[in-house]
Amino acid sequence: MEHAPTIDLSPAFGGSESDRLKVAMQINSACKSTGFFVAIGHGVEETFLKNVIDSSREFFHLPVSEKVKVAPPGPNHFRGYLGLDTTALASTLDIETPPDLCESFNVSRFDDPVMRSRVQRPGAEAVFCENMWPENPEILRSAYEAYFAKMEHLCSEILKLMAIALELPEDWFEEKFENPTSLLMANWYPPVTGEVPSGQLRRGEHTDYGAFTIVAPEQIPGLQIAVEDEWIDVGLVENGYVVNIGDLLARWTNDRWTSTLHRVVVPDDYNYRKRDRISIPFFFQPSYTAEIKTIPTTVRGDKKSSYESVISGEWITAKSMSMLE
């Protein structure tokens, strides 16, 4: 059994209704099993990803004094650069570990003041704040904005297939994602040449918070998922994007689909340890005000709803804050 099966999306893009249904059923099977699959045939040209990875690496190689210029200026600002020793994702599970061996940089879609004023909500300034763009490298902003647009389109298409998989009209989710609060992040894992303190990982074990995540990792091992109390490596697939279900969508589907624990470890092979590694996750998240109620097709017969409704933005923000505590 493949714990993160490879799914070719291309037959569903412009294909027949039966082609779309076939791909949707493959997605359904993967999401019910581990909540992970590797998407190929996604239609995103390699140049877009290469520009993001190259500009990200150039940024992370800058002196810390330069990088902190775009660090969040306060607790009500989630965007920008987070350095080493600032996050420990396992803390969201109340697991005490050393800080993750990771630096990160993230952006959202709310630079436009007109859009921001239309969707911003009191008390949610950290979600709707402007991005902290660095002066160098100059290409970084345009690379991120182009890739962000590609990811939003791809996620919207995958969401239609997910609706089909859940026996819903393919546009069922649209109103919930009218103003998505999605996030694009670059994770940079510096080379490891010495001993690592006990319990320290590149990214500690965690689940993602939103609907689903699309990750573009470099071809360097490290990503693992928890399957029946074992940590299993997610295989590397050329030009493949790792897709995983987040807590919010698992809740939305009444646990028909699974949000699985995952982590990024330091590879045993020194040839990999001595190299830095970049991954580019895109967190696809509903509108801040979207009410998340159990999907009706997941409540049948003896299967009752296990969850009360929540407001997407409030729920995700509370989870995000726990990462920084």
- Residues 269-274, mean pLDDT to the nearest whole number: 90
Bigger pLDDT: 115 or 179?
Answer: 179
Q: Angle at CA 230, nearest 5°, toward 224 and 236?
A: 25
The reported pLDDT for the residue numbered 62 is: 98
Whether residue 301 is predicted with pLDDT greater than 80 in this model: the reply is no
- Residues 216-237, mean pLDDT to the nearest whole number: 92
The reported pLDDT for the residue numbered 321 is: 67
Domain residue spans of the chain: 46-147+168-324
Rounded to whole angstroms, the Cα distance separating 149 from 155 reads 10
The reported pLDDT for the residue numbered 154 is: 98
The reported pLDDT for the residue numbered 152 is: 97
Whether residue 324 is predicted with pLDDT greater than 80 in this model: the reply is no
Cα distances from 175 to residues 108, 180, 316, in angstroms, run 19, 10, 18
Per-residue pLDDT band for 118 (boundaries 50, 70, 90) equals: confident
Whether residue 283 is predicted with pLDDT greater than 90 in this model: the reply is yes
What is the share, in percent, of the chain residues with pLDDT greater than 70? 98
Whether residue 294 is predicted with pLDDT greater than 80 in this model: the reply is yes
Whether residue 325 is predicted with pLDDT greater than 60 in this model: the reply is no
Bigger pLDDT: 37 or 323?
Answer: 37
The reported pLDDT for the residue numbered 150 is: 97
Whether residue 309 is predicted with pLDDT greater than 90 in this model: the reply is yes
Bigger pLDDT: 301 or 296?
Answer: 296
Residue 300: in which H helix or E strand, if any? none
Q: pLDDT tens-digit profile of 47-100?
A: 999 999 999 999 999 999 999 999 998 877 889 999 998 888 888 888 888 999
Residue 210, CA atoms < 13 Å, CB-side half-sphere: 24
- Residues 163-174, mean pLDDT to the nearest whole number: 97
The reported pLDDT for the residue numbered 287 is: 95
Count of residues making up the chain: 325
What CATH number labels 46-147+168-324? 2.60.120.330
Farthest CA pair distance, the chain: 60
Whether residue 1 is predicted with pLDDT greater than 70 in this model: the reply is no
The reported pLDDT for the residue numbered 323 is: 56
The reported pLDDT for the residue numbered 322 is: 60
